[in-house]
């Protein structure tokens, strides 16, 4: 695609390597144009758009409720969180009050999905570094979580669980016990994870000090989520710009200082524990009650606009929603954390090795569905 | 010591029979000799093929059970024992693709070049005292000489495919295998110093009665296992075919039987390094006296123990990075190997 | 509201800036409507004042004009501010803020791609999501898809 005229430091010809869109570990259809001097990267250029489905345009021809169904497909790993932000944005325009139980259920699902996302991250990141077993371990636990989701809303990937004004269904019988068991199991499995991967010398060798992102870069590139907190900025929208009923829950915002791949990995592992903590609290606090507020059958929010931000497992997931008073949104813009976090690649990939590209890309944790929308 | 049980008895009986038959027919001894070697070679080939098929199956089973899966369960009935046979048949029928701009001849020859030397190395391995292709004076050297030829084929395959990933894989493997050859040979060198012979049978007999070099030379044994893992391109040293980085490395562009050859040679190499480890460090075909089993059984038991350890490595560790790999090889393994040789020499001078 | 302070400050400094229809804005963040030529200066000022985090940059087509919306946040104090710019639909041009916030890079490219807004000063303004040579800007309201082989 691009003419390769770059020379290496000794004036020799360089190699242009097209990593992706078909590649085992670009996490989808990301293309990285790499200019290589041997195995060292001189210039990296991420190229996206291979999965562009025009979702922001599609949203304009769908009703608000249908948009929640579509939001499942933004980032198909964290569908519940996407549902959450879409429902919140519509409710902000509409100005409805959500029943308590629905709020709790939403947080329960969002945090469960956070657990699922971080488990997947663990598996894929270890896989990117060559540890195959971790992936299977991750999938084993994810399966349990997906079964929980399935029992609640009948789907395993695209849940469409949230409604404007609440959630679609109440919990099935025995869910609380099952979820409690899941949390317990997950805690013990996290020990396995640490034994297998975190403490491994080779793993640390591959990730400590690799792909460092400074605090300044985090701010300049608007990075968010675990990537931001791994670089020492303690900012979690759930705490600092709270939404829904997160205020009622007691959880820590873990933060790490170095901003390298290992810290980004550790961030997820720590957040996973916090998410489990929240789930446990929700399970205790849940009380019977309404799960859906009274909202009109056809949702027509008054003309207006809102920018609603939430903390998805990947970072700041926000929705800019403009309504013109009709049944369809006038404009829906998704602030996708993967999309914005991915920009840093151009900067930090210079000078690293091919193997580190995979580690760095994996540690940023992107989903191409969200990057391209 | 004379072990009177085992496969070698049948083999010696067969040789004597052939010799006598040819002698009676008035044919020169060279014909009998050739026939014997051919029979041995064919038997060896059969053994290798079956072992490799078994190894692949074992690898899948071991990995599966380490990952709380079951692995192949259906083909053939009992625990999917025929899975690899089915896979090989499938590979046979697959289209043989040569990339349009590939160097066709090099591309074709590479799988053969990778497979033949790995077979040759089996010739000098003593399965039992007399069950050996040729008990060469420089047996152990021959094995290392042949196993180092594999790098040639990998570079050939990587370069001829005209693909950047295969090229990277080829370059990586060149760097890696050449570097790790040195600690591999150096670690065995300390054993050779103690034995005073390059003959594998001498090395085996020097370890009579649990005097395994794995115990007397633990550092050399560890170095050998690490270097051998790198030599056969297995995780954590599987950089030449790191599938999450460079797709599949040097064999990305291979398909069908040619890919099968690369895979076979990978497992054959693993078998060789395990056999050498069992022979040089773990007493080879010798077993405890109270359990009179054929020597080959003991050898294979030890071999598969090593193979299992190699598989264990693979399904536990992440992959090293290429520069760290070089650091580890040159700055850790080679100095340690030299230290070990020095200590062994010192020991020999002081205590003899 | 703390952000109101900055808003008033800017309104005093840069003539032509005004509040942007506060009754329309439901998220409670004060919004500023500023004329296109001042945008870069205003963003520079905001950055100097501690709005160190560009949350989001997006654009909307309002049929008579295009609107580019910047959502800023000061992470230390958690003060948020929205800046809006109205652009001419025929020849939309707006100074790029990528030199100030490198994170705006792809978001500006996206707006260029999907709404056809030109950002002079952007280091590498080219298609991001759409294939090279795509005609039209899909997020504009008058965009009509050309029939393809599936129609």
In a domain, B160, yes or no: yes
Please judge whether C26 and A306 are an interchain contact, meaning their C-beta atoms are less than 8 angstroms apart: yes
pLDDT at B291 over 80: no
Domain span at residue C69 reads: 3-94
Q: For chain C, positions 110-149, list CB contacts with chain A under 8 A.
A: 114, 127-131, 138-139, 143
Mean pLDDT check: name the lowest of B3-7, B126-130, B187-191, C109-113: B3-7
* C75 contacts in chain A (CB < 8 Å): 219, 233, 235
In a domain, B15, yes or no: no
DSSP classification of residue B241:
G
> Does B162 reach chain A within 8 Å, measured CB to CB?
no
Q: Which of B69, B245, B324 sits opposite A358 (nearest CB)?
A: B245
Supply angle C-alpha A6, C129, C70, rounded to 5.
100
DSSP B17-63: HHHHHHHHTT--HHHHHHHHHHHHHHHHHHHHHHHHHHHHHHHHHHH
Q: Which of A240, A333, A340 sits opposite C103 (nearest CB)?
A: A340
DSSP classification of residue A78:
S
Q: Are strands C66-74 and C53-61 parallel, antiparallel or unpaired?
A: antiparallel
In a domain, C107, yes or no: no
DSSP classification of residue B161:
T
Q: Distances in Å between the alpha carbon of B254 and those of A13, B96, B98?
A: 27, 8, 7
Q: What percentage of residues in chain C have a pLDDT greater than 90?
A: 0
Distance from CA of A357 to the nearest CA of B (A): 8
Per-chain mean pLDDT for chain B: 84
In a domain, C82, yes or no: yes
Determine the Cα–Cα distance for residues A223 and A245; give it in Å rounded to an integer. Answer: 25
Number of structural domains found in chain B: 1
Determine the Cα–Cα distance for residues C144 and A133; give it in Å rounded to an integer. Answer: 49
- Which pLDDT score, from 0 to 100, does residue A170 have? 85
> Does C107 reach chain A within 8 Å, measured CB to CB?
yes
- Which pLDDT score, from 0 to 100, does residue A1 have? 45
CA nearest to C72 within chain A: A222
Q: Which of A17, A127, A355 sits opposite B321 (nearest CB)?
A: A355
What phi, psi does A320 have (nearest 5°)? -105, 115
Name the residue among A42, A160, A93 with its Cα closest to residue A299. A93
Reading the block at residue A61, the tokens are 């021809």
Domain span at residue B219 reads: 99-351
Who's near B253: CB < 8 A, 6+ residues apart? B97, B99, B102, B107, B161, B162, B163, B166
Q: pLDDT class for B5, splitting at 50, 70, 90?
A: low
A270 alpha-carbon distance from chain centroid: 15
What is the Cα Rg of chain B in Å? 21
CB A79 within 8 A of CB A72: yes
Q: pLDDT class for C80, splitting at 50, 70, 90?
A: confident
Determine the Cα–Cα distance for residues A222 and A341; give it in Å rounded to an integer. Answer: 7
pLDDT at B348 over 60: yes
What is the Cα Rg of chain C in Å? 16
In a domain, B25, yes or no: no
For the domain that residue C52 is a member of, what is the CATH number?
A: 3.30.460.80
Q: pLDDT class for B1, splitting at 50, 70, 90?
A: very low
In a domain, C66, yes or no: yes
- Which pLDDT score, from 0 to 100, does residue A4 have? 62
Q: Give mean pLDDT in consecutive 10-residue pieces for chain A, a chain of 373 residues.
A: 63 80 80 84 85 86 88 87 90 86 89 90 87 87 89 87 86 88 90 86 86 87 89 87 86 88 90 90 86 83 87 89 88 89 87 86 86 84
CA nearest to A137 within chain B: B67
Q: What percentage of residues in chain B have a pLDDT greater than 90?
A: 2
Please judge whether C105 and A372 are an interchain contact, meaning their C-beta atoms are less than 8 angstroms apart: no
In a domain, B49, yes or no: no
In a domain, B117, yes or no: yes
Domains of chain A, earliest start first: 5-47 (no CATH), 55-372 (1.10.645.10)
β-sheet with C31-34: strand ranges across: C18-19, C31-34, C79-87, C66-74, C53-61
- Which pLDDT score, from 0 to 100, does residue A298 have? 83
Q: Exposed, middle or buried: residue C101 (CB in 10 Å: 0-12, 13-18, 19+)?
A: buried
Chains C and B touch (3+ CB pairs under 8 A): no
- Which pLDDT score, from 0 to 100, does residue C75 have? 84
Reading the block at residue A155, the tokens are 């789907």
Determine the Cα–Cα distance for residues A59 and A330; give it in Å rounded to an integer. Answer: 9
A15 alpha-carbon distance from chain centroid: 33
In a domain, C23, yes or no: yes
Number of structural domains found in chain C: 1
CA nearest to C25 within chain A: A305
Determine the Cα–Cα distance for residues C31 and C7; give it in Å rounded to an integer. Answer: 8
pLDDT at B134 over 80: no
Question: A7: helix, coil or strand?
Answer: strand
Helix (H) or strand (E) run with residue C63 in it: none
* C55 contacts in chain A (CB < 8 Å): 222, 307, 309, 316, 318, 335
Determine the Cα–Cα distance for residues A182 and A187; give it in Å rounded to an integer. Answer: 9
Q: Which of A132, A203, A355 sits opposite B322 (nearest CB)?
A: A355
Please judge whether C26 and A95 are an interchain contact, meaning their C-beta atoms are less than 8 angstroms apart: yes
CB C7 within 8 A of CB C30: yes
- Which pLDDT score, from 0 to 100, does residue B11 have? 80
> Does B54 reach chain A within 8 Å, measured CB to CB?
no
pTM of the model: 0.86
Q: For residue B58, is the peptide bond before it cis, meaning its omega torsion is within 30 degrees of 0? A: no
| Residues forming a β-bridge with A7 | A13
Interface test with A, best of C103, C104, C124, C139 (most A CBs within 10 A): C103
Determine the Cα–Cα distance for residues A152 and A171; give it in Å rounded to an integer. Answer: 6
Question: C16: helix, coil or strand?
Answer: coil
Reading the block at residue B265, the tokens are 């040679």
Determine the Cα–Cα distance for residues A119 and A193; give it in Å rounded to an integer. Answer: 10
Q: Are strands C79-87 and C31-34 parallel, antiparallel or unpaired?
A: parallel
Interface test with A, best of B174, B234, B240, B244 (most A CBs within 10 A): B244
Helix (H) or strand (E) run with residue C71 in it: strand C66-74
Q: Which of A25, A200, A357 sits opposite B318 (nearest CB)?
A: A200
């Amino acid at each position: 695609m691009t003419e390769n005229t770059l020379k290496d430091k000794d004036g020799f010809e360089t190699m242009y390597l097209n990593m992706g869109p078909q590649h085992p570990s670009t996490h989808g259809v990301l293309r990285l144009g790499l200019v290589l001097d041997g195995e060292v990267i001189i210039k990296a250029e991420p190229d996206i758009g291979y999965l562009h489905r025009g979702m922001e345009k599609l949203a304009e021809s769908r009703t608000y409720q249908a948009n929640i169904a579509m939001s499942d497909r933004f980032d198909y790993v964290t569908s519940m969180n996407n549902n959450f932000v879409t429902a919140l944005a519509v409710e902000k325009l509409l100005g409805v009050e959500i029943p308590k139980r629905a709020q709790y259920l939403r947080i329960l699902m969002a945090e469960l999905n956070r657990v699922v996302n971080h488990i997947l991250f663990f598996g894929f990141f270890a896989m990117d570094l060559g540890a195959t077993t971790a992936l299977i371990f991750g999938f084993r636990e994810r399966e349990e979580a997906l079964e929980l989701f399935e029992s609640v809303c009948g789907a395993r990937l695209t849940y469409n669980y949230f409604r404007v004004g609440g959630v679609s269904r109440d919990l099935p019988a025995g869910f609380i016990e099952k979820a409690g068991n899941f949390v317990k199991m997950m805690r013990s499995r996290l020990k396995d994870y640490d034994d297998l991967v975190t403490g491994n010398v080779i793993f640390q060798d591959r990730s400590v000090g690799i792909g460092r992102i400074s605090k300044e870069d985090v701010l300049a590139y608007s990075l968010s989520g675990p990537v931001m907190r791994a670089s020492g900025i303690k900012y979690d929208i759930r705490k600092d710009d709270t939404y829904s009923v997160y205020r009622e829950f007691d959880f820590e915002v873990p933060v790490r200082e170095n901003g390298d791949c290992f810290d980004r990995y550790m961030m997820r592992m720590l957040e996973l524990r916090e998410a489990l903590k929240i789930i446990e609290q929700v399970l205790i606090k849940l009380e019977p009650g309404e799960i859906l507020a009274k909202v009109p059958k056809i949702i027509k929010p008054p003309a207006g606009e809102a920018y609603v931000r939430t903390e998805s497992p990947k970072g700041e997931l926000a929705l800019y929603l403009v309504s013109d008073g009709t049944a369809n949104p006038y404009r829906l813009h998704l602030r996708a954390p993967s999309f914005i976090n991915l920009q840093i690649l151009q900067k930090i990939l210079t000078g690293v090795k091919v193997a580190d590209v995979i580690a760095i890309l994996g540690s940023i944790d992107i989903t191409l569905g969200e990057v391209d929308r | 010591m004379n072990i009177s049980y085992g496969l070698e008895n049948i083999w010696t009986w067969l040789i004597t029979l052939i010799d006598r038959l040819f002698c009676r027919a008035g044919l020169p001894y060279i014909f009998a000799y050739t026939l014997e070697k051919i029979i041995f070679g064919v038997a060896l080939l059969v053994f290798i093929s079956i072992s490799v098929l078994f190894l692949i199956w074992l690898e899948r089973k071991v990995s599966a059970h380490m990952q709380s899966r079951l692995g192949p369960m259906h083909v053939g009935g009992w625990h999917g024992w025929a899975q690899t046979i089915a896979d090989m048949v499938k590979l046979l029928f697959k289209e043989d693709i040569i990339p349009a701009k590939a160097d066709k001849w090099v591309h074709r020859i590479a799988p053969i070049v990778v497979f033949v030397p790995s077979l040759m190395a089996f010739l000098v391995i003593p399965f039992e005292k007399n069950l050996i292709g040729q008990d060469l004076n420089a047996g152990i050297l021959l094995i290392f000489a042949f196993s180092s030829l594999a790098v040639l084929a990998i570079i050939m395959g990587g370069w001829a495919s005209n693909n950047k990933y295969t090229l990277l894989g080829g370059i990586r493997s060149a760097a890696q295998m050449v570097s790790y050859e040195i600690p591999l040979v150096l670690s065995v060198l300390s054993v050779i110093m103690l034995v005073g012979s390059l003959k594998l049978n001498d090395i085996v007999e020097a370890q009579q009665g649990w005097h395994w070099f794995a115990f007397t030379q633990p550092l050399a044994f560890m170095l050998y296992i690490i270097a051998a893992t790198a030599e056969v391109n297995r995780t954590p040293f599987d950089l030449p075919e790191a599938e999450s980085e460079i797709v599949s490395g040097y064999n990305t562009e291979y398909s069908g039987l040619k890919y099968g050859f690369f895979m076979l040679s990978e497992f054959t190499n693993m078998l060789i390094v395990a056999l050498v480890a069992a022979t040089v460090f773990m007493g080879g075909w010798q077993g405890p006296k109270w359990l009179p089993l054929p020597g080959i059984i003991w050898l294979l038991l030890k071999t598969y123990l090593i193979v299992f350890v190699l598989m264990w490595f693979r399904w536990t560790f992440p992959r090293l990075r290429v520069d760290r790999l070089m650091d580890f090889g040159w700055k850790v393994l080679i100095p340690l190997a030299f230290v070990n040789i020095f200590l062994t020499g010192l020991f020999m001078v002081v205590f003899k | 509201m703390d952000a109101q302070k900055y808003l008033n400050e800017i309104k005093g400094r840069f003539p032509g800036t005004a509040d942007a229809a506060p009754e329309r804005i439901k998220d409670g963040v004060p919004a500023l409507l500023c004329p296109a030529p001042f945008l870069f200066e205003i963003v520079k000022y905001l950055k100097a004042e501690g709005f160190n985090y560009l949350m989001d940059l997006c654009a909307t087509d309002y049929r008579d004009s295009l609107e580019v919306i910047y959502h800023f946040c000061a992470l230390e104090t958690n003060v948020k501010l929205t800046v809006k710019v109205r652009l001419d639909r025929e020849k939309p041009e707006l100074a790029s803020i990528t030199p100030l916030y490198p994170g705006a890079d792809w978001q500006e490219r996206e707006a260029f791609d999907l709404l056809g807004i030109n950002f002079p000063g952007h280091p590498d303004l080219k298609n991001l999501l759409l294939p090279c040579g795509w005609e039209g800007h899909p997020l504009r309201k008058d965009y009509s898809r050309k029939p393809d082989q599936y129609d």
